[in-house]
Amino acid sequence: MKQDIFQAIADPTRRAILTLIAAQALTPTVLAEKFDMSRQAVSKHIKVLQECDLIRPEQSGREIHYHFNPKKMQEFDHWLAQFRRSWETQFNQLDQLLNVIKAQKK
């Protein structure tokens, strides 16, 4: 069953793993060293991120390196953009209102 991207990034550990993997491809062993949890626990987080296509594995000899998938995050960013435009409009309107109130107090 494919995981939901929102559930995947809701977890702080998975967000931290994404941040690390975005900087450079890492193995599960290296990732596990960066967290106060077992390699198996880290592997479960990796599995969720992989099921959401946020990371992708690449076999290198006997090791698997996980790479960040920017295209999947870009899809998420495009979805957020619709809200971002609305927020920016509302914040701009609030700024204008605050400037009017500030000018009236002078």
| pLDDT exceeds 90 at position 106 | no
If asked whether residues 64 and 37 sit together in one domain, one would say yes
| pLDDT exceeds 90 at position 42 | yes
pLDDT computed for residue 41 by the predictor:
94
Residue with tokens 């390196």: 65
If asked whether residues 49 and 5 sit together in one domain, one would say yes
If asked whether residues 27 and 46 sit together in one domain, one would say yes
Domain holding 3, by residue range, is 1-68
On average, the pLDDT of the chain sits at 91
Per-residue model confidence as pLDDT tens digits over 50-91: 999 999 999 989 999 999 999 988 888 888 888 988 889 899
Residue with tokens 């880290």: 42
If asked whether residues 64 and 74 sit together in one domain, one would say no
Tell me the C-alpha distance between 71 and 51, whole Å. Answer: 14
If asked whether residues 81 and 95 sit together in one domain, one would say yes
